[in-house]
Structure 1
């Protein structure tokens, strides 16, 4: 999507804010003993109370309002009876739709007690996302995003999941530009246009290189098996840098 009016931007900010509040509210409820289904119901209520609906349900018939991935799960975890335990690494990914506009955001959290290794991974996962976001500007190569994140990962001795990409968004959940790499991709030759809407969502890992299917049609696991975090914002490209759409505050 290319933002063409103030109304477009207002509506994108509205659904982005709703998704961000859902993540924040779900994160505040994270504690040992809560199930991923109960956590999902909290996110669903935030969306529905704001007049929005779950994008993965709407677009793909996903069996839940939100994606909740725990420990060995990298992405697209299905809400269910799994109980959150102390020390778990939990990714919460919320995408929603309202009035024909879509937003998408996610963050990873650790349920205390926190080990130094995972604390550093979560901290650096957020830093990796911002390293990529800071490359966003009209007229710049899209490859700058993956190159910058790749440099950050190598410098700090991490790996990146290289088959879970960022994506265009706006009037649908996934649209052009599709498959926007958050790792160095020599084949990426596209240029960022003024008003273009897309996500930046690197998957930073301590050894994982790929996301592979599990036993159900949705949940993805790292290969090799390794702790992995994801942080994601939806943004708009401008000449002055990015406008972040998925802010809770």
Structure 2
């Protein structure tokens, strides 16, 4: 994703897929055009939750390692290499690699890219921001998380967007409680984001995760989503991952069928955790 003369991102050169040692267990969708249908109920027992936590911890540690390398002059391709090597060193498979044909081991979404940016030869510059999204698969379970990083010094407006997006995630997590519908999460997030006039992305959501990378359960980040009425119960595992923008919530997709950008090219930030529902609220499973 180099930039055009207006400073907007354009597709860059993508290197060949990285290799994963044969000793590391692959998710069941590898080598298939799409994953097998998930037939579970999005709840897990204590042993399974600990496996999700183990995968989530590796993903969070990988993001921390990648974040240490984010400086002006680094390419997103180089960041992918760091994340990939860390995951495989822990015996984990990079969940994105080969998922529905995705070619890389993490997503690197720069500036106006909402999500699913593919690492390439884009050189990060001072004032950019980049969201790093990593999911680790180990012992049959996925742990999914992401974090938005500043590249050098950013403007006050962008700095506030990043901090407030992180706060929106915290508020979404705080809204989780057994007996509530999942749409309460989006209500909490958008009511906060609207105070600042931010766009709240609607079409890319949180999701059930665990045995499946995406189970089919949808967690909305916006208000007025009564169609998402699943009831939250203890043992349920899913992600919350709000995407806020300085402009519109509307989006365009590149010809690669992955990279999603804001339609008005406004800057966007995102944060994500995998969590498990407890008797009283939620516990984060993606802490380093």
Pairs within 5 Å for 1:117-156: 117-156=157-196
1:55 aligns with 2:95: yes
- The answer for the alignment partner of 2:39 in structure 1 is none
- The answer for the alignment partner of 1:2 in structure 2 is 43
1:32 aligns with 2:72: yes
Distance 2:48 2:85 in 1: 25
Instruction: Let me know the Cα RMSD of the aligned residues.
Output: 1.1
Q: Which has the larger radius of gyration?
A: 2
Distance 2:137 2:144 in 1: 9
State the TM-score, normalized to the length of structure 1.
Answer: 0.95
Distance 1:17 1:58 in 2: 22
Aligned residue pairs, count? 246
- The answer for the alignment partner of 2:32 in structure 1 is none
Q: Compute the displacement of 1:58 (Å).
A: 4.2
Q: Is the partner of 1:46 in helix, strand or coil? A: helix
Higher helix share: 1
- The answer for the alignment partner of 2:27 in structure 1 is none
Q: Compute the displacement of 1:113 (Å).
A: 1.6
8 Å CA contact retained: 1:161, 1:222: no
Out of 175, 183, 186, the residue aligned to residue 222 of structure 2 is: 183
- The answer for the alignment partner of 1:198 in structure 2 is 238
Q: Deviations over 1:132-171 (max 9, x none)?
A: 0101111112111001111001122211011111100000
8 Å CA contact retained: 1:33, 1:84: yes
Instruction: Give unmatched runs, 5+ long, in structure 2.
Output: 1-41
8 Å CA contact retained: 2:165, 2:269: yes
Out of 94, 111, 125, the residue aligned to residue 85 of structure 1 is: 125
